[in-house]
Structure 1
Amino acid sequence: MHFIITDAWLAKSRAIHLSGTKLLLALLGLSLALMLSAASLYHWVFLTGAREGWPVFGTLVRLVTKDEFEQRDRYMRENVEAMARKVGEMQAKLLQLEALGERVSGLAGVNPAELRTTPGRGGALVSGHPLTVDELRQALADLDQIADHRVDILTVVESRLFDQKVRTLMIPTQHPVTAGHLGSPFGWRIDPFTGGSALHTGLDFQSDPGTPIAAAAGGVVVTQAWHPQFGNLVEIDHGNGLLTRYAHTSRAYVHRGDLVKRGQRIADVGSTGRSTGPHLHFEVLVEGIPQDPRKFLDAGANLQRLEVAAARPAVPPVVQRAGR
């Protein structure tokens, strides 16, 4: 395609040759320029009409944005309803946690009513109308307050249970000698040296020399010394006026002031002091008064049997069908 361009006085002329490719590119460029100009003009007119409230453009704006607003509102409403269901589930779980906390509080000797400083709110989140964001925010704030209160209760219960556990560990209920048999019991007997009646203030565990002796409970070693009658003696203070005595030992592994735990090896069986043979003389004193150690050791054995029974899986009862 040829174009001839001349000026107004026909003094000059210029010929332009356009091939098919150049003509196509020119048409595409012109079309793009027209589209951009039309879009810019439409955008300017549309925004101006919507901002100034022209009747026709205002109606168009409402028609265009109505569906978008409805979709956004529906999306937000669905999200709020889903969050409300989650809040209801959290409230139900908090109720279960409250019931569990009350049962554990009873085991710890804590009255849950004394720990309720604020009235609790519970139950599923049910409303007769669609929930608003403010209502959902208030429900979350209530849940946060209830959760803090539950944490306070369980913290107190944990402290009580820990105290009970410590007190249990400080009571001499573990056998000090596992390899051996019981000799002289607690009570009146014939003294083997004098032949007269005498009060035997402990238990004698006959065993081989060198047999390990374990602490019957945790505590502090208050005595590790030689005694004319008890020989090589170890005494442990368990607090609350409780003291255990381990006599006639051949060797001690602890010293005065040491902290020992339940079951720790503190000495070996021997025959030192006023003794007729290798054995452990074991005493339990409460406020300095000798007690029968059997009461403590039997209580520990019973507690251990209960713990073993509780750890066993429950066996479902066998249902027998009556014959026809």
Structure 2
Amino acid sequence: MNIIIVSRKHGRSRMVSSWLLAPVFLFVLVMVSALGYGGYRLFAPDEIVIIDSQAANAWADRVKLQAIELEKTQIYTEEQINALRIRLAELQARLTRIDALGERLVDVANLDEGEFDFSMPPAVGGPESSSVEANPPDFVDVLNELGLQIENREQQLRVLNSLLGDRKIQSETFVAGRPISKGWMSSRYGYRNDPFNGNLAWHDGVDFAGKDGSTIVSVASGVVTWAGERYGYGNLVEINHGNGYVTRYAHAKEVLVEVGDVIKKADVIALMGSTGRSTGPHVHFEVLLQGKSVDPAKYIDRVARF
């Protein structure tokens, strides 16, 4: 291949071989490539680095801090759960005491166990109604509120138990009833003819005749202040019931209690006999109020009102 070169100055043409121009084209090509690469490097954006070592270390430190916070949160949560367990156990114990106290009140007050059964949850009911959306209260607040309710119930039950206990004590120490299980009244209180000499004499009690060896019972709770032989009475049991009341049970065949014994109402204290100044098996029953004898007939048919 030949290339013709025309000169403008002299108007002459000249033929040049393509092989002589090859180095020139190669040089131009290299220069264009060099300039293109340099321009690309000059104007191309910097290489984007996704993560470097500094960022990686920062992330590692953050993960360690989060792990520490998570451990602290777990410890705090376990402590709170343990505290709630203890609180719940306290409430359950208090409920158990309330149930026990309630059952005792039912027994003391002679209430119907079927009506007040503390072993069963209270009966509730009602027609189903549309639900109301509400934010549920915090369970800690619920437990605290339940604790306050239980405390109020305990206080009320303590007051009620105290009142019923006082009523029970008053009922037990209330002098009333017959001092025998079986028998009949053979002599009344007041003036009568003495059974030994026939003269008019004062009788401080009432006599109940019955079968020899039959039981003599206390007409009220109290403490035994005399248990043994006394002149004219034979074998005598004397009981102090408080509030100024004392009862005496005389002519017993056998005394079954001792001084200092605490006696309950209707307890058997002696056996009927004819010891002392007596004409046959009977019990001489006296009631003393503030140290003075009173008519026992007023207390034999006495009815308690509490």
Distance in 2, matches of 1:161 and 1:225, equals 36
Distance in 1, matches of 2:230 and 2:297, equals 24
Q: CA deviation at 1:210?
A: 1.0
Give the structure 2 partner of residue 26 of structure 1: none
**Aligned residues with identical type, % of pairs:** 40
Distance in 1, matches of 2:138 and 2:271, equals 71
Give the structure 2 partner of residue 290 of structure 1: 293
Distance in 1, matches of 2:153 and 2:245, equals 36
Q: CA deviation at 1:252?
A: 0.8
Partner amino acid for 1:270? Answer: G
Give the total of aligned pairs. 179
Which residue of 248, 252, 257 maps to 2:251?
A: 248
Partner amino acid for 1:253? Answer: L
Partner amino acid for 2:299? Answer: F
Residue 218 of structure 1 pairs with residue 221 of structure 2: yes
Q: Is the 8 A contact 1:174 1:262 kept in 2?
A: no
Q: Is the 8 A contact 1:209 1:278 kept in 2?
A: yes
Q: Which has the larger radius of gyration?
A: 2
Q: CA deviation at 1:294?
A: 2.0
Q: CA deviation at 1:234?
A: 0.9
Q: CA deviation at 1:167?
A: 1.9
The SS at the match of 1:160 is helix
Distance in 2, matches of 1:185 and 1:228, equals 21
The SS at the match of 1:148 is helix
Which residue of 146, 153, 157 maps to 2:149?
A: 146
Q: CA RMSD in A?
A: 2.9
Partner amino acid for 2:248? Answer: R
The SS at the match of 1:133 is coil
Q: Tell me, which stretches of 5 or more residues in structure 1 are unaligned?
A: 1-103, 108-127, 304-324
| Between structures 1 and 2, the one with greater helix share | 1
Residue 236 of structure 1 pairs with residue 239 of structure 2: yes
Q: Is the 8 A contact 1:170 1:239 kept in 2?
A: yes
Q: Is the 8 A contact 2:172 2:221 kept in 1?
A: yes
Residue 209 of structure 1 pairs with residue 212 of structure 2: yes
Q: Is the 8 A contact 1:251 1:270 kept in 2?
A: yes
Residue 170 of structure 1 pairs with residue 162 of structure 2: no
Partner amino acid for 2:210? Answer: S
TM-score (norm 1): 0.49
The SS at the match of 2:280 is coil
Distance in 1, matches of 2:202 and 2:138, equals 77
Q: Tell me, which stretches of 5 or more residues in structure 2 are unaligned?
A: 1-105, 110-130
Q: 1:142 to 1:273 in 2, by over 3 A?
A: same
Partner amino acid for 1:149? Answer: N
Q: CA deviation at 1:177?
A: 1.0
Residue 132 of structure 1 pairs with residue 135 of structure 2: yes
Q: CA deviation at 1:147?
A: 3.5
Distance in 1, matches of 2:220 and 2:158, equals 27
Q: Is the 8 A contact 2:217 2:268 kept in 1?
A: yes
Residue 196 of structure 1 pairs with residue 213 of structure 2: no
Distance in 1, matches of 2:236 and 2:224, equals 11
Q: CA deviation at 1:178?
A: 1.9
TM-score (norm 2): 0.52
Distance in 2, matches of 1:298 and 1:283, equals 15
Distance in 2, matches of 1:159 and 1:149, equals 15
Give the structure 2 partner of residue 53 of structure 1: none
Q: Is the 8 A contact 2:228 2:255 kept in 1?
A: no
Q: CA deviation at 1:195?
A: 2.9
Partner amino acid for 2:280? Answer: G
The SS at the match of 1:178 is coil
Q: CA deviation at 1:223?
A: 0.5
Residue 187 of structure 1 pairs with residue 190 of structure 2: yes
